[in-house]
C-alpha cells in the first residue's frame, strides 16, 4: 500500500517505521524543516517505571521495539540504562516498598535497594538519600538525533519519502493536498499532528478529549563522569500513576511538597546524553493560554536538587527550553484515535508518554488499520 503520514514527530515517524517494516510505501509530510515540538524537547527516556497497569504491556512492548530499532539504527542512541528513583524520606521509601512488593514488580524490573547498593549501580551518586527504587527496564534514546537517524534508515529502503516544510491542507481517504499545491495519492492517511488540535485536526475529527501541557527543561554542559542510570526523585511517585496506592496517598497527605515544586507541579527526571551533558526537568502547566517566557525558580530548584543527589556542583547550564505536548484526558485510552472517514486515521494525545510508547502505539494503529 501507499501510505501518507502527516506529522514528523515521534508518533508520525514511528507510524512510518511500522508501515515500512510491514512492506508498505510511505510519503511523510512535516510542516517544519525538522520536527521541533515535544518530540525533541524531552528526556529521551523509555520510561516503564511509572506506567499504569493498563499501560505496562504497551510500555514493555515499546521498549522491546526501541531496542530492536537501536540495533539496526545506531544513531537512535538506545541504551538500557535502567533508572534509580532516589528516596529521601521514610514516606518515599514506604511507597517504593509497596510497589516493589506488587505482583507486577518483576515485569517492571523493580527492586528496592539501599543507598550503598544504589551507588554501586551508579557511582556518580555521592549525595544524600536513604534508598532507591531500581527499575532495570527503563532505557534511553537520543531524542534530538533519533528521528533523522530513523528517516535515513527508512530512505535507504527505497520505500520512504520525507517532505519537510510541507503542510497538509486537505485530507481525503484517497490522499492529501499540501500547501505547495501538490496532491499525494495514497491508500491510507495517518495524521499525527502533535499538539496542534485545531485547524486540519479539528476539521477531520472535531473536538477531541485532549489537552495541551507545557513543560520547562534544561541541559548542562558535559558532567565529566558517567551517570550510569537515569535518576528521578520521590516527587515522581506523586506524578506517575503507576505508583498510586495507599503509601502514595500517605505520602501526599503527610509530606508537603516543596513550595516551588508544588507551584510548578514538578518532579525530577535526569538523564545523561551521549555527549555527557544532563537533561533535567520538568514542570507541568495545564491552564491555557500558556506564558511565552520561562520561569527561573524551577531551574534553580532542580539545580539544587540534582547537586544534593550527586554531591557535587553541576556544570554550567547550556540550554533552557519550554515545550508543549498533547495529552489524552480519557483515562481508559492510551492515546486518542479517531477514524473520521474510511482510510483516514487521526492519532494524537500520548501525553508525556510519546517518546516511550511511540513504537507500540504505531504497531497498534497498523493492526487496527489492517496493515
Q: How far apart are CA 286 and CA 281, in angstroms?
A: 16
Question: What DSSP string describes 169-220?
Answer: EEEETTEEEETTS-EEE-SEEEE--TT--SHHHHHHH-S-SEEEEEEEEEEE
**The predicted structure's pLDDT at residue 74:** 96
Buried/exposed code over 314-326 (b: 16+ C-beta within 10 A; e: otherwise): beebeeeebbbbb
Report the largest interatomic distance among the alpha carbons of the chain, rounded to a whole angstrom: 63
Q: How far apart are CA 139 and CA 76, in angstroms?
A: 12
pLDDT at 248 over 90: yes
And the C-alpha cell for 68? 530492536
- Residue 158 has, within 13 A of its CA and on its CB side, a CA count of 0
And the C-alpha cell for 353? 508518554
Return the bridge partners of 30, or none: none
List, for residues 312-358, the tens digit of each pLDDT value: 999 999 999 999 999 999 988 989 999 999 999 999 999 989 999 99
144, 141, 338, 346 alpha-carbon torsion, rounded to 10°? 30
- DSSP letter for 245, please: S
* Helix (H) or strand (E) run with residue 231 in it: strand 230-233
On average, the pLDDT of the chain sits at 96
pLDDT at 53 over 90: no
List, for residues 199-235, the tens digit of each pLDDT value: 999 999 999 999 999 999 999 999 999 999 999 999 9
Q: How far apart are CA 357 and CA 58, in angstroms?
A: 7
Place of cell 488540535: 197
**The predicted structure's pLDDT at residue 331:** 86
Question: How much of the chain, in percent, has pLDDT values that exceed 90?
Answer: 95
Closest CA to 204 of 176, 163, 164: 176
Contact (CB, 8 A) for 22 and 42: no
Tell me the chain's radius of gyration from C-alpha atoms.
21
The edge-to-edge listing of strands for the beta sheet with 183-185 is: 168-172, 175-178, 183-185
Contact (CB, 8 A) for 283 and 264: yes
**The predicted structure's pLDDT at residue 179:** 96
Place of cell 503542510: 167
Return the bridge partners of 281, or none: 217, 269
Q: How far apart are CA 49 and CA 26, in angstroms?
A: 33
List, for residues 80-134, the tens digit of each pLDDT value: 999 999 999 999 999 999 999 999 999 999 999 999 999 999 999 999 999 999 9
Q: How far apart are CA 188 and CA 168, in angstroms?
A: 14
Query: Collapsing DSSP states into helix, strand and coil, what is residue 125?
Result: coil
List, for residues 136-156, the tens digit of each pLDDT value: 999 999 999 999 999 999 999
Q: In the chain, what are the domains? A: 1-79+141-208+333-371 (3.50.50.60), 83-136+210-328 (3.30.9.10)
Left (φ > 0), alpha (ψ -120 to 50) or beta: where does 349 sit?
left
**The predicted structure's pLDDT at residue 332:** 85
The edge-to-edge listing of strands for the beta sheet with 188-191 is: 160-163, 25-29, 2-6, 188-191, 344-348, 336-341
Amino acid at each position: 500500500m501507499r501510505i501518507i503520514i502527516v506529522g514528523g514527530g515521534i508518533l508520525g515517524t514511528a507510524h512510518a517505521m511500522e508501515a515500512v517494516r510491514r512492506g508498505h510505501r510511505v510519503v511523510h509530510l512535516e510542516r517544519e524543516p525538522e520536527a521541533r515540538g515535544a518530540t525533541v524537547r524531552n528526556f529521551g527516556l523509555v520510561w516503564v517505571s511509572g506506567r499504569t497497569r493498563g499501560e505496562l504491556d504497551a510500555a514493555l512492548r515499546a521498549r522491546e521495539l526501541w531496542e530492536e530499532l537501536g540495533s539496526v539504527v545506531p544513531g537512535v542512541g538506545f541504551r538500557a540504562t535502567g533508572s534509580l528513583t532516589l528516596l529521601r524520606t521514610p514516606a518515599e521509601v514506604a511507597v517504593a516498598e509497596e510497589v516493589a512488593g506488587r505482583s507486577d514488580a518483576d515485569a517492571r524490573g523493580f527492586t528496592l535497594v539501599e543507598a550503598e547498593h544504589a551507588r554501586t549501580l551508579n557511582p556518580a551518586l555521592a549525595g544524600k538519600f536513604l534508598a532507591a527504587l531500581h527499575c532495570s527496564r527503563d532505557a534511553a534514546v537520543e531524542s534530538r538525533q533519533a528521528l533523522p537517524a530513523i528517516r535515513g534508515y527508512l530512505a535507504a529502503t527505497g520505500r520512504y519519502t520525507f517532505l519537510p516544510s510541507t503542510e497538509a491542507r486537505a485530507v481525503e481517504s484517497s490522499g492529501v493536498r499540501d500547501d505547495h499545491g501538490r496532491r499525494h495519492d495514497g491508500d491510507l492517511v495517518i495524521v499525527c499532528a502533535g499538539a496542534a488540535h485545531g485547524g486540519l485536526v479539528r476539521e477531520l475529527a472535531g473536538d477531541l478529549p485532549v489537552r495541551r501541557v507545557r513543560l520547562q527543561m534544561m541541559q548542562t554542559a558535559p558532567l565529566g563522569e558517567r551517570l550510569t542510570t537515569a535518576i528521578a526523585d520521590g516527587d515522581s511517585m506523586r506524578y506517575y500513576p503507576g505508583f498510586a496506592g495507599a503509601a502514595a496517598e500517605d505520602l501526599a497527605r503527610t509530606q508537603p511538597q516543596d513550595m516551588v515544586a508544588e507551584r510548578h507541579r514538578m518532579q525530577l527526571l535526569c538523564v545523561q546524553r551521549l555527549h555527557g551533558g544532563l537533561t533535567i526537568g520538568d514542570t507541568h502547566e495545564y491552564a491555557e493560554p500558556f506564558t511565552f517566557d520561562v520561569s527561573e525558580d524551577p531551574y534553580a530548584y532542580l539545580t539544587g536538587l540534582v547537586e544534593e543527589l550527586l554531591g557535587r556542583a553541576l556544570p554550567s547550564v547550556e540550554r533552557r527550553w519550554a515545550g508543549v505536548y498533547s495529552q489524552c484526558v480519557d483515562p481508559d485510552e492510551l492515546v486518542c484515535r479517531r477514524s473520521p472517514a474510511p482510510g483516514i486515521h487521526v492519532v494524537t494525545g500520548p501525553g508525556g508518554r510519546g517518546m516511550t510508547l511511540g513504537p507500540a502505539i504505531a504497531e497498534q494503529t497498523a493492526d487496527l488499520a489492517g496493515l
